[in-house]
Chains A and B, each alone.
Chain A
Amino acid sequence: MSAKTLLEVKDLKTWFYTRRGIVKAVNGVSFTLDEGECLCLVGESGCGKSVTALSILRLFDSPPGKIVEGKVLYEGLDLTTCPIPQLRNIRGKDIAMVFQNAQSALNPVFTIGDQIEEQINTHRMHHNGTAREKAVALLEEMKIPEAVGALKMYPHQMSGGMKQRAMIAMGLSCDPRILIADEPTTAVDVTIRAQIIYILQELKARRNMSIIFITHDLSLVREIGDRAAVVYAGKVVEIAPVEHILRKPAHPYTIGLISCLPDISTEVKRLPSIPGNTPNPMDIPSGCPFHPRCPSVMDICHTVEPEMLNISGVQTAACHLYDADIMGKR
């Protein structure tokens, strides 16, 4: 843990003020990201992991969305309050994003080359050679065959895997220090998924780039992550190095998630699942948001929200089970 901390998210709350009520999509997320580290944000759909990613660069629709509390510190600069022009210099240059569905995240009426070069030109990142040369090099790095020709293609002329790789190439075009990848492998098939994971692993090692990898798939976390943050109801409930999360999960929710992972070596009749549903972000349960589904629920969980507690130096979890005071009294 000697590496420098690059990004620090502190008690971030992003709420959406809709006609039917306040959607508390992100409701107090905190984590840090070190240089050259891959942090996975894990959680079920609707838990707020994507909105967390969008909140870092203030990319959610506003209105109705608003950051009501918290900070996103990038090298000491608070991205939640800094002026937009300053934020714009960071977007795509220092911190880049790769979205889930390249099919709809790429503009259908411009060529891949146009879209990559546009970003390079905006941030004037073409010191060595032209934007075009840089774009060709990026596509080659992404192992896209015939990169020069691919630049002239429109998104609809590419296969799903090519589009996703072109999207990653675009994200990398200004040599970002942080890449936020929002479920980049959800919309592609298994072989492409393996390719993309391999590319990201390679990039991380070669460029010493930090990655925030958002996924609902724990098997991907094992492959790519250094640390993982488990998100539930707009909150981080556990952060730990990946091997801790997978071998010795602390929070009952994490324990539940891990037990749902199918094991290829044993035969089961029915895959286990966590009973109940993810809470409605407009009506988050009182106390610990997980208490209605928790197998080890106690009285205090109904009323008091647990804080993040240190479990083993590198592992923290928000659960009363690890609070010595509370457990001691029982």
Chain B
Amino acid sequence: MKSRTPLAAAGLAAVSLFALTACSGSAEPAADGAPSGNVTMVVPMGAGGGSDQSGRAIASGLEEGTGLNISVENREGGSGAVGYSYFLSQNGKSNYLLASETALLALPVTQDVEFTYEDFTPIMKLGDDYTLLVVAPDAPYETCSDVVDAAKDERVVAAVSGATSLDEIVFTLVESDQDVEFDRVPFESGSEVLTALLGGQIDVASLNPSEVIAQLEAGDLKALCAFSEERYEYDALSEIPTAKEQGIDVAFAQYRGFIAPGGITEDQTQYWIEAGQAYEKSDAYSEYIESNYLQANAVYGDEFSEYLAGNTADLEVVFAE
């Protein structure tokens, strides 16, 4: 081991080998609409985040059901814009998939990008990740209506984890529904918001259940309401009323799902929808949903497209200001 070089080369080889082992398995002869050769699951975010985790979970779930080789490729940059643009250039290739979430809708509304969800073929929405309104355990609020009432005549400082993030959307929807205003302090991730809430620098935050479950169980935070259509069924969350029960007509989720490129045939779309339906019945699917505290509202194809259209309309209202 005289120089760095053989070591570095060996390391590089080892690391790429490890990356490749993810796609072992055998390619079955194609049925109607099945892709030929290996399949690539594009993740438009960096390794390790929520999108990456869902992309890898979906890829291994589909791999199990279809017998195809599905390898994951991270194409990060521009808050997802780079990955989606790359996916746009794969038009017509049914052996590409992309692990999608709400950035697909927020980017076209807020940035100058060349794609909308209509350029792609929506396949499956796995589930919805709503948010909970959380406050310090000794905060003078017991319900979300308390928070809204307080905001009417005093300063309530709300943290948001980004200008186009889920919590920003939820707070804006509450503001327009209740005609109040929250003071915003911007952060860059859910964990930063959590830190500031625990440190008492902000008053309220709207975070995904998976981000705050440990603090809720330890009694370090309390949840006032869930911005979801239905109450959560998980034991730890079932006591939390929805905002709608408290007279605030707001429910907005970040979805997790996957899409195929535009311009693929009807048969190819159908193939992936059926693969998704098989995945929904597997243990791997319920494990993913449960460990991330999602609500398992799977929808497919055209129904998924309608969902995306509805959400885009909401986002256009939010970002119109």
**B partners with A:** no
